[in-house]
């Protein structure tokens, strides 16, 4: 579902300066300074309305979380949700930017974990290059992920999931915890996205895996 464009949205987002960065290229290599610590960095690509990342940051104060989103109207919901959560440890930040420019935002080996949650599957073959698990995108991720880093991937689209499994393996990742129905088992994810909550309520299976860089 597309969100309507909000008049003056970028001006409204300016009130979140310090939480949200509009020119993330300017803060590359400065993450320790921004968070005032050297804790591990976990990044969600396409953070949506922020439910997942805010919940994770609340539960895991020893991790620094960064949400990347390219749509200002969506980012508006995410930063507001985080502000309402009143995170005392301030271990969350947001970037308004694009996933394909990740190397412009983070230095080599700076990210310990990436989250790809319910990314657009772009089902038509002619749109394959837009998928966040397209081989070229996986190569970009490798440039910013540290040794033994992980990518946690969730989707409701089986075809996209199976495409991504093959893409991970072909690009040298090893796979673990592959499931075709995440919420049918005992082990569950720490937090759910807005999409996931809705899908689970409808009885729709969630596909999930973890991809690890082979050291």
Positions marked active-site? 120
Closest CA relative to residue 79, chosen from 47, 111, 101: 47
Q: What is the C-alpha separation between 43 and 39, in angstroms, rounded?
A: 13
Q: What is the C-alpha separation between 43 and 212, in angstroms, rounded?
A: 15
Q: What is the C-alpha separation between 205 and 215, in angstroms, rounded?
A: 32
- Residue ranges in the chain assigned as alpha helix (H): 9-13, 31-35, 51-59, 72-85, 102-105, 135-144, 158-170, 194-201
């Amino acid at each position: 579902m597309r969100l309507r464009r909000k008049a003056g949205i970028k001006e409204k987002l300016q009130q979140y300066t310090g939480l949200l960065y509009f020119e993330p290229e300017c803060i590359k290599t400065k993450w320790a300074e921004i968070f005032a610590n050297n804790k591990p960095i976990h990044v969600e690509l396409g953070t949506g309305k922020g439910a997942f990342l805010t919940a994770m940051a609340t539960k895991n104060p020893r991790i620094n979380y960064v949400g990347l989103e390219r749509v200002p109207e969506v980012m508006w919901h995410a930063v507001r949700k985080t502000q309402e959560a009143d995170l005392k440890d301030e271990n969350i930040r947001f970037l308004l930017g694009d996933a394909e420019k990740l190397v412009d935002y983070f230095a080599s080996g700076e990210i310990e974990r990436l989250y790809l949650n319910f990314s657009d599957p772009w089902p038509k073959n002619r749109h394959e290059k837009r998928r966040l698990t397209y081989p070229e995108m996986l190569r970009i991720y490798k440039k910013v992920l540290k040794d033994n880093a992980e990518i946690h991937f969730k989707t409701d689209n089986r075809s996209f999931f199976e495409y991504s499994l093959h893409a991970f393996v072909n690009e040298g990742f090893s796979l673990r915890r592959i499931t075709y129905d995440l919420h049918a088992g005992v082990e569950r994810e720490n937090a759910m996205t807005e999409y996931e909550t809705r899908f689970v309520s409808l009885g729709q299976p969630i596909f999930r895996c973890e991809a690890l860089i082979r050291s």
